[in-house]
Amino acid sequence: MISSEHLTGMILAGGEGRRMGGRDKGLEPFAGLPLVAHVIQRFDGRVAELLINANRNSDAYEMFADRVVADLVIDGAEGGFKGPLMGIYSGLRAAKTPWLLVAPCDSPALPNDLVARMVAGIGEHDIAVAFDGERLHPVVALLRTSLADDLAATLAQGERKIDRWYACHAWCKVDMSDCPEAFANLNTEEEKIRLEAALENDAKAKKAAT
């Protein structure tokens, strides 16, 4: 088992939020808190250090994490907004532990026991990816930080597809088919409003049942 002192958590908040009008999704209000704060709750007390990958508003993110990590530069290319694989690479380089668990800032309903389930599911593999029973969620992943050099070489070749890089390594699915709704990610204002209402109704139903 991977203990908490050997595990760094990182929330990916380095995107441009194009489908949300260019707004910084991690800082968007959701159920009374910024979206990123909901994801932080899944890591709280379960990792040695919490990072946030962000390419803007670093001052705002600093209050939520131990460190804010911007996208690194590969072979002289411009940094920032280079996609989630670059964010993962930046986290692998920044982490001081053998393992890095990443999750996106726009999935506020992730399982409360996400860390435990990912750790339990990786076995002898180098990468574990959440699977909701129908599809993989490649930005919810547990990775060995020793993969950083390999990923640097891959990025230098121009690769930006996460699944193609994962396929080059010993990886596995972690079955989360009991809670597929937990992996809803919010790309638009409409999706945010719908999920907020759904979670509120669910909370009311659970309260009424007790």
Report which of 176, 178, 36 is spatially closest to residue 116, judged by C-alpha positions.
176
Q: What is the mean pLDDT of residues 48-73?
A: 95
Buried b (16+ CB within 10 A) or exposed e, 181-201: ebbbbbeeeeebeebbeebee
Number of domains making up the chain: 1
What is the distance between the alpha carbons of residues 43 and 1, in angstroms, rounded to a whole number?
Answer: 17
Token digits of residue 207 = 């309260």
Quick one: CA dihedral 127, 132, 135, 138, positive or negative? negative
65 pLDDT above the threshold of 70: yes
pLDDT of residue 80: 56
Of the listed ranges 134-138, 139-143, 152-156, 189-193, the least confidently predicted one is 189-193
Q: What is the mean pLDDT of residues 150-162?
A: 92
pLDDT in tens, 116-151: 999 999 999 999 999 999 999 999 999 999 999 999
pLDDT of residue 78: 54
pLDDT of residue 36: 96
pLDDT of residue 202: 74
Domain that includes residue 76, residue range: 4-209
Proportion of the chain in helix, strand, coil states, percent, rounded to 5:
40, 20, 40
Report which of 140, 119, 120 is spatially closest to residue 129, judged by C-alpha positions.
140
pLDDT of residue 200: 74
Q: Tell me, what CATH number does 101's domain have?
A: 3.90.550.10
What's the whole-model pTM score? 0.89
Q: What is the mean pLDDT of residues 149-172?
A: 94
